[in-house]
Amino acid sequence: MELIKNMEWRYATKKFDPEKKVNPTEMEKLKRAIQLSVSSYGLQLYKMLIIEDQEIRKELKPVSWDQNQITDASHLFVFCNYSEVKKEDIDAFIRLTAETRDIDYNDLKGYGDFIESKLNEKTKAQQRNWLERQPYLALSTLLMACAELKIDACPMEGFEADEYNKILGLEEKGLNACVIATIGYRIPGDNSRYIPKVRKSMDELFEEIKQTVFLPL
């Protein structure tokens, strides 16, 4: 299974080669993979900023715990969740679905009403929590796509989201910096690549609840 080999190959790269850049063709593949990523209800209530500009990254580095990946990597991905769930976002999704699948909008409106009602059952705090979880689904897709293309990546929560929001002007766009990732290519002397992965055993990680078979008396 190539996926297993790819996952065994990857690691959270800490030292990137600042001279090596991910080419535009590979970038388009990564973007396409993220576009195809799963999301709750298919709404995709998130946006990804792809930052190559070095001046902006230098400004972001101090509020990213001064981690060198921010400036040394080829690109910086900032995964942003929508700040709130809006009726117009749900309606836009229903209209896009109708257009894509050649279905009458009115035939899908009930599904939109269902989504809206389920999300409205959540408190504002629960909605924020739900929204902030959404970009992690796309992040996972990015990491797997990078591993397949042999592009190094480092997912990062070590940054000050509020400062990112200010520097990148996210609040006025209704967005919030949720999680970030740097991508590029490891330097040859990065010994972290040889450190064994630490993972729980299969027995500890999984519990199988199998179907009960009732035998006749």
Range of the domain at 144: 2-205
Domain assignment present for residue 216? The answer is no
pLDDT digits 0-9 by tens, 1-10: 899 999 999 9
Q: Print burial letters for 13-50: b (CB count within 10 Å at least 16), e (below 16).
A: bbbbbeebebeeebbebbeebbeebeeeeebbbbbbbe
The answer to the question of residue 62 being in a domain is yes
Q: Is residue 195 part of a domain?
A: yes
Please say if the pLDDT value at position 92 is more than 80.
yes
The answer to whether position 215 is within a domain reads no
Cα separation, 81 vs 63, in Å, equals 19
Structure confidence at residue 188 (pLDDT): 86
Domain total of the chain: 1
Residue 210 lies in a domain: no
Tell whether 91 is covered by a domain: yes
Mean pLDDT of 142-147: 98
Q: pTM score, two decimals?
A: 0.94
Distance CA 71, CA 45 (A): 28
* 116, part of any domain: yes
Q: Residue range 139-148: average pLDDT?
A: 98
The pLDDT of residue 39 is above 90: yes
pLDDT tens by residue, 43-81: 999 999 999 999 999 999 999 999 999 999 999 999 999
Which amino acid, 135? P
Asked if pLDDT for residue 216 goes beyond 90, the answer is no
pLDDT score at 193: 86
What's the rounded mean pLDDT across residues 193-215?
A: 91
Please name the helix (run of DSSP H) or strand (run of DSSP E) that holds residue 59, with its range, or none.
Answer: helix 54-60
Percent of the chain with pLDDT over 90: 93
Closest listed residue to residue 153, CA positions, set 177, 178, 186:
186
Q: pLDDT above 70 covers what percent of the chain?
A: 100
Output the domain CATH number for residue 195.
3.40.109.10
117 part of a folded domain: yes
Tokens of 165: 């929001």
